[in-house]
Amino acid sequence: MRTVTTSSGFVHRFVPASEQGSPTLLLLHGTGGDENDLLALGSELVPGAAMLSPRGKVLENGMPRFFRRLAQGVFDLEDLRFRTHELASFVNSASARYNFDPHRIIAVGYSNGANIAASMLLLHPSLLAGAILFRPTLPFIPDHVLDLAGIPVLVAAGRFDQYVPQNETKRLAALLKEARATVNLHWQSSGHAMTSEEVEAGREWILENSSALLR
């Protein structure tokens, strides 16, 4: 495993699968994180899985993010769409470069990373086999009706999250359900930080949905 910069400009890490037939986890860090942040989480969720972990290319006061925001909770929607398409292109090229199955990619995002993962579901619905979104909000309302039929999504939210209003999380879950995704909305009695209990819930969710995620 080593840190790599590709022609796309994404600094990233790739960990090959050590278990045959394992998925590839697309690990997307939160604001201020980097390509190393979620590797341990990925190993906990699916031991032996391949892991692709890019670093966000946008800097906010020196802190990496995946897209710009205008204020807390106010996203630069033009930049969000551009960065989402850019990230999707990177994932597609990485699947060819590292020879992993492009139909077995599960996004695992936290906070800002969860938001761009949700944006990928909305803009590139065929790219992901599923997603675990830790502390997401609704990134935007899509222009047309989506079809996410059969795609499992775990939305892990904190009841006392100081950054993400409960209503925004519920709106995201409702939109994904309207698009026919299989949504599990998991509430935790916590704030914005992830807890060990919901990591365990994520691991169980992957096992329960393995037939849909690894088809």
Give the CA angle between residues 143, 147, 150 to the nearest 5°.
150
Contact criterion met (CB below 8 Å) for 37 and 30: yes
Token pair belonging to 176: 């994904």
Contacts (Cβ under 8 Å, ≥6 apart) of 61: none
Q: Is 111 a catalytic residue?
A: yes
- Domains, the chain: 3-213 (3.40.50.1820)
Catalytic, out of 85, 103, 186, 192? 192
pLDDT for position 19: 83
Mean pLDDT computed over 79-107: 96
Q: Is 161 a catalytic residue?
A: yes
Instruction: Choose among 54, 129, 123: nearest CA to 93.
Output: 54
Q: What are the helix and strand counts (H, E) for the chain?
A: 6, 12
Q: Is 29 a catalytic residue?
A: no
Catalytic, out of 161, 189, 196, 211? 161
Question: Strand 130-134 to strand 152-158: parallel, antiparallel, or no bridges (unpaired)?
Answer: parallel
pLDDT digit string, tens, across residues 112-161? 999 999 999 999 999 999 999 999 999 999 888 789 999 999 999 999 99
Catalytic, out of 29, 111, 126, 147? 111
In whole angstroms, give the CA distance from residue 201 to residue 184: 11
Contacts (Cβ under 8 Å, ≥6 apart) of 14: 1, 4, 50, 51, 52, 53, 94, 98
pLDDT for position 122: 95
Q: Which amino acid, 106?
A: I
Q: What is the pTM of this model?
A: 0.94
pLDDT for position 144: 82
Share of the chain above pLDDT 70, in %: 96
Token pair belonging to 111: 């906070």
pLDDT digit string, tens, across residues 165-190? 999 999 999 999 999 999 999 999 99
Q: Is the pLDDT of residue 77 over 90?
A: yes
pLDDT digit string, tens, across residues 6-37? 546 799 999 999 988 889 999 999 999 999 99
